[in-house]
Amino acid sequence: MMSQFKFAAVFTDGAVLQRNREIPVWGTCTEGSRIAIELNGTKTEAAVTGSTWRANLPPQSAGKGLTLTARSDSGEVLCCHEIAVGDVWVAAGQSNMQFFLRYDYDFPLAKMYRPLPDIHFYNQPHTRCADEVNHDSAAGHWFHDGDPEFAVFSAVGYWFARALQPEIGVPIGIIGCNWGGTTASTWLDESYLESGDLPVYLKEYEDACKKINPETYHDDCMRAMEIEQIWNIGWTKVSYGLTWEEQQIFKTTPWDIDVPEGPPLLMGPMHQNRPGGLYHNMVEKLIPFAVKGVLWYQGESDDIHPEIYDQLFSSLIRCWRKNWQQNLPFLFVQLPSFCHWMDCKGAAFPVIREKQELVSKTVPDAYMISIMDFGMHDDIHPKRKRPVGERLALLARGKIYGEPLLCESPALDHAEEVDNKICLHFANAGGGLWVRAYHLEHFRVLQNGREIPIQNATAQNDCVFLTLGETMHGCITVEFAEADFATVALYNSVGLPALPFRCQVELT
């Protein structure tokens, strides 16, 4: 009979454990057994209750080359070798966080670099329901920079680790916990959807479940998951990037892929986007693994209810913090410029961006980066993930590690009339604003719904000055980059793009 004595799946050779914090270690064993756990000369014990055991090792300083050992009172021994102690980050979200390094524009550069031995990676297996079998050979174990699996790890997570580790000088572990095409409502416990405007997600799920046949649903879903594995081969072409014309062909004929017929995966108790689905089947399996914080890139699939995204994302943060029992910092990515891709459209993105910025202003220890300077008009997956990871690393250095550096985008502070011009004052300008273009673009001035022509726009120190093409009086509205696609070329002195905004100015 196979032994029940095991570590939880996240404890394998090469794991990174969080420094300077109690280290929860857990697993399974026979009911009534006692387990002795040891790491780097420190020991603790745990009793097995209901076939599971858990113990907390005392905080450890950074180190590497360690062995984590668990011994049962029946004489069985488990060992995880080459354990490091450093900082662990969870790279979570949907497809732009899942986006593999091998699809990234800078993957050739990543392959040329000398591997950094102190960055380790772990992919949480994709599991949406108890019956699903995950066939991903790159998931469920820790690996290192330069190992074959690093090509199919989150490009954002990789570049974040690559930029941060040399600066802080301790091992870095990145746990990828992401799934393309997912709404944030699947990444939190469904009880957090019961307040405010969020019950709409529960109501929509309830309505969808009324359409399924409970007698055939399970078998239909298992068949749909098998077909999905084949379909995913074709999506490799999409990930590398298609022209708009090629996308139209792919939607009707997946190139060179013979996809068998079968039922679609209907929304219901086995769908990955059901409320709480991936929280219970992926996130909960990581809790209470000690981590430093969360990297989050998501929101594209919440364009159906963009006006309540701030409630949804804030609730997710509360859920993770409560159940992890620590005030996890969240470093997240504001959605970039985007117009359309396949059947997706970016019309709701300006509202989601506004709600994301609201979260960064109202939720403690939640910080946002902008990538409004390199979105893609016809692709929802920008192919340059290196700047995303590096900006998140810069944000971590400034906000989490306390380095005295500029790490945030220019943001409108206030606006006024100065010498018959509109003067827009920006925070986080650093040594001054500059423009990477011939002209300052994406400003609009409106009054009573009519757009007023802008004669000239210039950046000077921490201000942008707008000269209007006609004399105006009264209240006007000024917008910047408030569109689905608007490539921002206004930067602060460390190369971070200005945030979109909308404001009102009273002209005399």
**Cβ atoms within 10 Å of 129's Cβ, excluding its own:** 18
pLDDT given at position 259: 74
Which residues does residue 480 pair with via DSSP β-bridges, in sequence order?
443, 501
User: Quick one: DSSP state of residue 100?
Assistant: B
Dihedral angle over CA of 366, 372, 376, 379, nearest 10: 20
In angstroms, the CA 492 to CA 461 distance is 9
**Residues 161 and 113 sit within 8 Å (Cβ to Cβ):** no
H helices present in 113-216, as ranges: 155-168, 199-209
| pLDDT digit string, tens, across residues 390-399 | 999 999 999 9
Host H or E run for residue 277: helix 277-278
| pLDDT digit string, tens, across residues 250-307 | 887 777 777 788 888 999 999 999 999 999 999 999 999 999 999 999 999 999 999 9
Model pTM score: 0.96
Question: Token pair for residue 222?
Answer: 């298992």
In angstroms, the CA 56 to CA 44 distance is 7
pLDDT given at position 238: 84
Phi/psi region, residue 110 (left: phi>0; alpha: psi -120 to 50; beta: rest), is: alpha
- Spell out, as residue ranges, where the chain has pLDDT lower than 50: 1
Residue 288 preceded by cis peptide, ω within 30: yes
pLDDT given at position 296: 98
Question: Token pair for residue 217?
Answer: 């649903």
Q: Which domains does the chain have, with CATH numbers?
A: 411-507 (2.60.40.1220)
In angstroms, the CA 451 to CA 445 distance is 6
User: Quick one: DSSP state of residue 362?
Assistant: H
Of residues 100, 4, 94, the one with CA closest to residue 53: 4
How far the first Cα of the chain sits from its last, in Å, is 85
Residues near 319 by beta carbon (within 8 Å), at least 6 away in sequence = 188, 189, 192, 279
pLDDT given at position 2: 54
